[in-house]
Amino acid sequence: MIPTRRTRTTLAATTALAVVGVLAACSSDDGGGGTGESTGEAAGGTYTWWDPYPQHEGSSDWESRVQQCGEDAGVTIERTAYDTTALTNQALLAAQEGTSPDVILLDNPAVSTLAETGMLTTVDEFGLDTSAIDANLLDAGVLEGDAYGIPIGANTLSLYYNAEILDEAGVDPASITDWDSLTAALAQVDDAGHRGITFAGIGTEEGSFQFLPWFWGAGADLSQLDSPEAVEALELWTGWLDEGYAPNSVINNSQNTVWEEFLTGDFAFAENGTWQVNSAAEAEFETGIVQLPGKDGGVAPAPTGGEFIVVPVQSDTARYDVTRQIVECMTTPEGFVETANTFAYYIPPTAEGQEQLLAESAGDADLEPWVEAVQNAKGRTSDNLGTDYPKISEALWTAVQNALSGAATPTEALETAQADAEAARS
């Protein structure tokens, strides 16, 4: 049974608003959802949709994709796009004002922020089947055992490499299977007169996002930022700077800056994401992918990026039947693949969708490594961290900054981070 109203205090929403700043206009009154009086309309009319893609305007393939799902359900979709943080804030405000849209596409770490306020239906309440969704991807939208949305796809991180530099340095990409072999490869590249690796250590969520594969790959846990495993991960990064394998610019690098550095052709490796597949294919040198290695081997869990489709609670429950049709249009195996192609290789969150994407892209960009990376990825809010994650993340990226700048040793920086995270969560 879907609730008509799930009441929690306004304070919960206000508190959530205070933390969304570290995560990556109101809807029209014309036919929107909202939690006001029931209209009694089960179909027809206009349904409101919010997403974080302002770059995809009215003539875009994405706009057409959204509108087609509305047409298939027999309604018109009024789509409004915001940047990621503004979308979360607007969603929280709309819930307080009773003007929530029918559907929201939301950056996955923000799902728990909205869910904690009680403004979202669970997928079980809404009657949606998530049994085919990869559990590691679905977990990013789980709070206290309940799933509050469905990922429309996922992206994550791997290591891009410059094949020409590795050839000249005598490095076989297949030999890179753990931290020791990667560091040995960086030493060979350095000896050959090239630059080693670039990554984003910036003091924002992007810095945490890029550090997490090494943190998790060492066996560390976000509930204990100063563990020996966490220290080892930060020592890996600082060691690369000390040896000259990574440039000092990583302290301020965003992921875009990292990619610009890699495209100069000067670096052997760059940590970056699925979203650079097309750009890599167009680079002036041959590129390839190796998985981010765990400390002792295997693929390190990288954080998942990507959006969830969520359904705000409405008092007009007659609207839910059509809303369900819109959501299902986005979450069929074919729908996942269509979204992947629309967004330049979002990886579908189901095995069937992944197989279909690989079959359709045969002879095009090599997506198989990215499917493997997504299968090994992990949600940032997994482990039931929920709205505590932004507080932990800020403490973590601050520690990374302090260690990379030399203001503190990795051990000192992470001890401070753990104390700060505990204080922020208390």
For 162-176, b/e burial (b = at least 16 CB within 10 A) is beebbeebebebeeb
The answer to whether residue 4 sits within a structural domain is no
In contact, 321 and 130? CB cutoff 8 Å: no
My answer on whether 50 and 178 are in the same domain is: no
Say whether both 162 and 297 belong to one domain.
yes
Same domain, yes or no, for 260 and 393?
yes
CATH number where 273 lies: 3.40.190.10
Same domain, 106 and 45: yes
Residues 339 and 288 both lie in one domain = no
In a domain, 329, yes or no: yes
Q: Is 218 part of any domain?
A: yes
Taking each helix axis as running N to C, give the angle between helix 351-360 and helix 368-375, from 0 to 180 degrees, rounded to the nearest 10: 170
Identify whether residues 66 and 103 lie together within a single domain. yes
Q: 50-80: buried (b, 16+ CB within 10 Å) or exposed (e) per residue?
A: bbbbeebeeeeebbebbbebbeebebebbbb
Q: Are residues 115 and 46 in the same domain?
A: yes
Tell me what pLDDT residue 61 has. 93
Number of Cβ atoms within 10 Å of the Cβ of 375 = 16
Model pLDDT, residue 360:
85
Cα 62 to chain centroid, rounded: 19
Q: What pLDDT is attached to residue 45?
A: 92
Q: Which pLDDT value is given to residue 369?
A: 93
Q: What is the pLDDT of residue 237?
A: 98
220 and 318 within one domain: no
| The predicted structure's pLDDT at residue 365 | 62
DSSP for residue 380: T
Q: What is the reported pLDDT for 43?
A: 53
Helix (H) or strand (E) holding 397: helix 389-405
pLDDT reported for residue 17:
40
Whether residue 20 lies inside any domain: the answer is: yes
* Residues 393 and 263 reside in one and the same domain: yes
Query: What is the residue-level pLDDT of the chain in tens, covering all 426 positions?
Result: 334 434 343 334 444 444 444 443 333 333 334 433 333 344 569 999 999 999 898 899 999 999 999 999 999 999 999 988 899 999 999 999 999 999 999 999 999 999 999 999 999 998 899 999 999 999 999 998 999 999 999 999 999 999 999 999 999 999 999 999 999 999 999 999 999 999 999 999 999 999 999 999 999 999 999 999 999 999 999 999 999 999 999 999 999 999 999 999 999 999 999 999 989 999 999 999 999 999 999 999 999 999 999 999 998 999 999 999 999 999 999 999 999 988 866 899 999 999 999 998 765 668 899 999 999 999 999 888 988 999 999 999 999 999 999 999 999 999 999 999 999 998
- The domain boundary, picked from 334, 357, 375, lies at 375
Rounded distance between C-alpha atoms, residue 111 and residue 106, angstroms: 7
What is the rounded CA–CA span in Å between residue 248 and residue 241? 7
Asked if residue 359 and residue 275 are part of one domain, the reply reads no
**Number of independent structural domains in the chain:** 2
How far is it, in rounded angstroms, from Cα 245 to Cα 426?
A: 39
In a domain, 5, yes or no: no
Domain membership of residue 2 (yes or no) is no
Q: Which domain holds residue 34?
A: 10-154+305-375
Computed from CA positions of residues 338, 339, 343, 347, in that sequence, does the dihedral angle turn out positive or negative?
negative
**Cα 323 to Cα 313: distance, rounded to the nearest angstrom:** 11
Q: Is residue 130 within a helix (H) or strand (E), and if so which, with residue range?
A: none
Residue 411 within any structural domain of the chain: yes
pLDDT number for residue 19: 43
Q: Are residues 414 and 282 in the same domain?
A: yes
Q: Which residues of 287-324 are buried (b: 16+ CB within 10 A; e: fewer)?
A: bebbbbbbbeeebbbbbbbbbbbbbbbbbbeebbebbb
**Looking at the domain assignment, is residue 1 inside a domain?**
no
Looking at the fold, whether 182 and 118 belong to one and the same domain comes out as: no
pTM reported for the whole predicted model: 0.86
